[in-house]
Structure 1
Amino acid sequence: MGTFEIKNNKSSKIKNSESSGWKARLTETTVGLFSHAPDPLEETFQYPDDPGLFGPESITWKIMGDVSSFIGGIRALLIQAAHPEVAAGVANHSTYRDDPLGRLSRTASYVTATAFGAMPEVEKSIKMVSSAHRPVVGTSSRGEKYSAGNPEMAAWVHNALIDSFLVSYQNFGPFLLKNEEADSYVYEQTNLGNLMKASPLPENAASLSCWLSENPKVGSSKEGAEAVSFLKKPPLPFFTRIAYKILFNAAVVTMPIELREAIGVNPKKGSKTAGNFLTKVLRYALGSSPAWAAALDRSGTKRPNGIRFRNTSGVTR
């Protein structure tokens, strides 16, 4: 009997070691994708009790703290490609082809800083993005002028992000938000949209979805097609690419048909099931966003029960 217990304990230790091993590798690989830019919250603990733009009671922190935001980010980029002028601005003034991981990290830094940063970090991130967007002017392939400073173009980028993070959470998150919670999230995000000088800014989930899917500016373009082609097969390591493909297909299956048709993508059978499985694996391995935990710690708010974070108090990543 004693021998059996010793073997059983040894077996348990091996299983725990194997489990922690693959979790550590998955965490390292995932975090590595977003580590090509400085930590946007590296100074966040210099601002104690600062709730940031949204605060610990917001729906924003709940949505942005979940791994479903990975799908949301891909979906937002696909939707942005459905606006020919936005797609032209990205194609002609961005480094996504030459430095895809750098651009991914910088975009993630903006999202993280504005969602979870203290107000000085929010303002710094917005200032950096506004400065980078200032020279983004030109003419699209359909002959229309574009400017990243145009409120409608800024709104397309902003609203695509907000709708995508919400839809991805509703489809692949740990819980389904109530309608009023979804509307609260969209309304919260008008604060960020106003700081980015974006307009119009729908104030509830239904009007946001409608504004995107029925927008008269939606259309096909050479630049949009190039962006989608790149997003389908980005230069990633082999095993990362397998997981990415599942996330990509999950993003496509949640898009409105009008936007899918504009960029020429079609949902694949089983994409939602595969997306749900992978997000559960990622949630188990990664836990919730360390930026969310850092924001809670900075604001003096107790971390919620039942939600696991991989970072200890005082650590941002």
Structure 2
Amino acid sequence: MTDADPGLFGPSSVTWQLHGDPMMWVAGVRALYLQALHPLAVLGVMQNSDFREDAWGRLMRTAGFVGTITYGTTEAAEKAGARVRKIHRHLKVTDPATGRTHGVDEPELLLWVHCAEADSYLQVLRRSGYPLTARQADQYIGEHRHSARLVGLDPDDVPATTAEMDGYFARVRPQLAGTPEARDVDDFLRRPPVPPLLVPARALLWRHVAALAYQSLPPFAHELYGRTAPSPAAVDRRLRTTGALLRAVPARLRWRLPPGHIMNAMARLGPGSRPTPYTLKRQAAILDGPGRARRQQAERRGRQQGWRKPG
């Protein structure tokens, strides 16, 4: 087991622990809401797919990609990244306002999608009660430069801390808008088409997930969508309640659902690789102990090392 490939992140990373939490599903829907506010990014989705027919497929493919690069082997993660880059290389989006055609793999668009996802994962899980220190939150954002590299971004151009992420959103905010395409995404996420037999489930379960995802967006997003949300404190209470309910479901039961990335990783690396908040609590206690300054200096040196570019 000791020689098994831990993948790009490995059990010692914040990403490995965080991505095993069931609130990632709420976070994924929040990311869709946020991504749709970039006019060119949402046009890229609409012009290259039938969003209403394939929205579930898109969500599942994103979840599969995140699971593979988090818990898969290094080879599996690199192959997943290569597939994404190959697909994006052939897709274009036309801006109707200017008539200009863009590649969907332009760094500006890739960076927006990346930041909307990473911010959503971190914000939802922290606000729902997942225990993370400020240092671990920074580490999580920094770790996600691995996923940025996989989709074709230069990691040095990607936010590496929560402060840098906040700065990015402040800079990009004037470019965002609640376009008709964004409102289409909003309408779909609130009332996705389902077979008649599943309408009660949509009303009971999905409506709560979509509402919570929307409510957890930053205030500027609520303003752009033109829909109000409860106070941040009220949303935090709802997130914590939902998080507690979902975490009450035994993890091994949740993780056995296809495609089983976490169970496969545990089979490869052993039971000690099981994602659990306790691991991060223990790491925080150790890192706050003697030798903290020396470790932080070593980490800063490590961050200054170059990144391997994707082939």
Question: What TM-score, normalized by structure 2, do the two folds share?
Answer: 0.76
Contact 1:75 1:164 (8 Å CA) reproduced? yes
The reply on whether 1:287 has 2:251 as its aligned counterpart is yes
Check 1:213–1:74 CA distance in 2 against 1; reply closer, same or farther (3 A cut): farther
Contact 1:160 1:212 (8 Å CA) reproduced? no
The aligned counterpart of 1:42 is none
The reply on whether 1:197 has 2:152 as its aligned counterpart is yes
Contact 1:50 1:118 (8 Å CA) reproduced? yes
Q: Compute the displacement of 1:188 (Å).
A: 0.5
Contact 2:118 2:144 (8 Å CA) reproduced? yes
The aligned counterpart of 2:219 is 257
The aligned counterpart of 2:267 is 297
Check 1:252–1:273 CA distance in 2 against 1; reply closer, same or farther (3 A cut): same
Partner of 2:272, secondary structure, is coil
List aligned pairs for 1:238-257, cutoff 5 A: 238-257=200-219
Q: Compute the displacement of 1:226 (Å).
A: 1.1
Q: Compute the displacement of 1:230 (Å).
A: 1.0
Output one character per residue of 1:138-172: Cα deviation in whole Å (capped at 9) or x when no partner.
22344364321101100111111111000011011
Number of residue pairs matched? 262
Output one character per residue of 1:33-56: Cα deviation in whole Å (capped at 9) or x when no partner.
xxxxxxxxxxxx9xx711111011
Letter in 2 for 1:298: R
Moved more, 238-247 or 64-73: 238-247
Percent of counterpart pairs with the same letter? 28
Q: 1:168 aligns with which of 113, 124, 127?
A: 124
The aligned counterpart of 1:70 is 25
For residues 259 and 217 of structure 1, the distance between their equivalents in structure 2, rounded to whole angstroms, comes to 12
For residues 240 and 228 of structure 1, the distance between their equivalents in structure 2, rounded to whole angstroms, comes to 15
The aligned counterpart of 2:179 is 221
List aligned pairs for 1:143-182, cutoff 5 A: 143=98, 145-173=101-129, 175-182=130-137
Check 1:181–1:306 CA distance in 2 against 1; reply closer, same or farther (3 A cut): closer
Q: Which has the larger radius of gyration?
A: 1
Structure with the higher helix share, 1 or 2: 2
Contact 2:216 2:235 (8 Å CA) reproduced? no
For residues 305 and 111 of structure 1, the distance between their equivalents in structure 2, rounded to whole angstroms, comes to 15
Partner of 1:302, secondary structure, is helix
Check 1:228–1:172 CA distance in 2 against 1; reply closer, same or farther (3 A cut): same
The reply on whether 1:266 has 2:228 as its aligned counterpart is yes
Letter in 2 for 1:224: A
The reply on whether 1:106 has 2:106 as its aligned counterpart is no
Letter in 2 for 1:299: L
For residues 84 and 136 of structure 1, the distance between their equivalents in structure 2, rounded to whole angstroms, comes to 16
Letter in 2 for 1:207: E
The reply on whether 1:230 has 2:175 as its aligned counterpart is no
Contact 1:213 1:259 (8 Å CA) reproduced? no
Question: What TM-score, normalized by structure 1, do the two folds share?
Answer: 0.74
Q: 1:275 aligns with which of 239, 243, 246?
A: 239
For residues 134 and 305 of structure 1, the distance between their equivalents in structure 2, rounded to whole angstroms, comes to 34
Q: Compute the displacement of 1:262 (Å).
A: 2.3
Q: 1:207 aligns with which of 131, 139, 164?
A: 164
Letter in 1 for 2:248: Y
Q: Compute the displacement of 1:213 (Å).
A: 4.3
The reply on whether 1:57 has 2:40 as its aligned counterpart is no
The aligned counterpart of 1:129 is 84
Structure 2: runs of 5 or more not aligned: 256-260, 279-311
CA RMSD of superposed structures (Å): 2.6
Q: Compute the displacement of 1:88 (Å).
A: 0.1
For residues 145 and 262 of structure 1, the distance between their equivalents in structure 2, rounded to whole angstroms, comes to 25
